[in-house]
Amino acid sequence: MTTTIDPSASASPTADSAAPADVRGRVVELHALRELARSGPSEKATEAQHAKGKLTAHERLALLFDEGTFCEVEQLRRHRATGFGLENKRPYTDGVVTGWGLVDGRTVFAFAHDFRIFGGALGEAHATKIHKIMDMAIAAGAPLVSLNDGAGARIQEGVSALAGYGGIFQRNTRASGAIPQISVMLGPCAGGAAYSPALTDFVFMVRETSQMFITGPDVVKAVTGEEITQNGLGGADVHAETSGVAHFAYDDEETCIAEVRYLIGMLPSNNRQDPPVQPTRDPADRRNDGLLDLVPLDGNRPYDMHKVIEEIVDDGDYLEVHERWARNIICAMARLDGQVVGIVANQPQSLAGVLDIGASEKAARFVQMCDAFNIPIITLLDVPGFLPGVDQEHGGIIRHGAKLLYAYCNATVPRISLILRKAYGGAYIVMDSQSIGADLTYAWPTNEIAVMGAEGAANVIFRRQIAAAEDPEAMRARMVEEYRTELMHPYYAAERGLVDNVIDPAETREVLVKSLAMLRNKHADLPSRKHGNPPQ
């Protein structure tokens, strides 16, 4: 028996042919419908998608999930809208594929826009499918991945489409901190649609083919007169380097989705579980002798903090978040003795490692994510202070710096800080000092913990003596050395209990591993409240 199916028909799929006479005929019809829903509107539409360097929704899902594990939900859903010719065009799936599967054996939910159908635009049925899969992910306590490739709201459906976005935003917010949410931008995302990725934990983008913006280039030109391309306005590199909207940017979809799988492997399924443990052959007590030569004693000489992290973590492997935005601070996920940790570290190679607006926001968001998903936080300090300047003050460095302070103070996961060299002023306090709740604070014998550098402090404290001296420069040098000897020697903070121990840099990995093991069952309660009111 042959059953002819019209993908755009508004009537029953069997209206133009005799109904199957038996169960076997019905099964044949079912498989034909499934194949129709999977294959999409036409081969021409698929070719057009590939010609843009983009995969289809099902091809993307095949890369995301373990082979043969994806289970689709509401595959045969069709919209009910009328007007503007919609009643004559009712494709199956309604432009979004939803379901669940396994990623390295763990359950993950996902939805993927199908750009071949209505340009992936969101309508009422389309939104209802997304709402359902989001509700399922929240109920199951499993990560949610969105593969975004859509043209925004379906204009023909009017306000119903806008209400659909509202339902997505509400669920994004309800799921925040409960399950990991990952947005993968694989095409355009314009207007209000861009707010859903912004509400999620991580945003991945692909260069040249994905863009995010609230108003497109045409609107920008009409309002401001500025001419700019889509990629120049909201491409992957712009959001990875300038705006900070994208956490990761890659050259192709295959690499991007492979990295999504890698990230999922470092996250728990929900906030009630711990991150997955991965056995390692890297000895817990491996010495870090390379650190003795890697970090210069002279606090004015830069070095690459990435190399410090590589030396300490399992097999030198880590995943940096927001790698290209606010480079004066590093946020990374890694493993120590198989256990996932979040690392926040000043980067002396960029702006000498100072804290500024961008660095404060970047680190605050990362600390909050780690705390939400039970990931211990290790902070590596080499910070000369906050970046001075009119732009920083007028830009709100006070409230932005307070975001990082709030995030650390509010975090209840195990927190360990390690001072490598400089730790000056308010930046020292903000970067998870013992006084704001770090569980353990260590320092290398190269540390300098003080209100400010010796030169600046001497100029303030001894300015009269320096001004009255016959040789002011010689007096200044003597006062600088006196201040450094009295208040900035490496054991000053340890003598006052502000540092738990001064350690040999070569023993850093071993000390951190043992400390994390001790803190593994840490329990801390925050005051009973609806929620805090963090600085904005």
Token digits of residue 69: 């594990």
Contacts within 8 Å (CB) and 24+ apart, 154-157:
154/118, 154/121, 154/122, 154/123, 154/126, 155/121, 156/81, 156/83, 156/84, 156/85, 156/86, 156/123, 157/79, 157/81, 157/86, 157/123, 157/124
C-beta separation of 325 from 242 below 8 A:
yes
In three state form, how does the secondary structure of 361-405 look?
HHHHHHHHHHHHCCCCEEEEEEECCECCCHHHHHCCHHHHHHHHH
Task: Let me know if 191 is a catalytic residue.
Answer: yes
In the numeric block, the tokens 């280039």 are attached to 217
- DSSP line for 32-74: HHHHHHHH-S-HHHHHHHHHTT---HHHHHHHHSPTT--EEES
Helical (H) or strand (E) element with 515:
helix 508-519
Q: For residue 368, give Cα distances in angstroms to 39, 415, 528.
A: 41, 12, 18
C-beta separation of 172 from 181 below 8 A:
yes
The residue annotated as part of the active site, out of 25, 158, 177, 191, is: 191
C-beta separation of 347 from 305 below 8 A:
yes
**Residue among 103, 106, 108, 151 at smallest CA distance from 133:** 108
Task: Let me know if 192 is a catalytic residue.
Answer: yes
In three state form, how does the secondary structure of 164-207 look?
HHHHHHHHHHHHCCCCCEEEEECCEEEHHHHHHHHHCCEEEEEC
Task: Let me know if 427 is a catalytic residue.
Answer: yes
The residue annotated as part of the active site, out of 426, 469, 506, 517, is: 426
Q: What angle do CA 336, 338, 342 make, to 5 degrees?
A: 45
If one counts every other C-beta atom within 10 angstroms of the C-beta of residue 531, the result is 5
**Cα 328 to Cα 354: distance, rounded to the nearest angstrom:** 7
**Residue among 398, 373, 410 at smallest CA distance from 181:** 373
C-beta separation of 359 from 326 below 8 A:
yes
If one counts every other C-beta atom within 10 angstroms of the C-beta of residue 210, the result is 29
The residue annotated as part of the active site, out of 137, 151, 427, 493, is: 427
Token digits of residue 100: 């669940």
Which residue numbers are catalytic? Answer: 191-192, 426-427
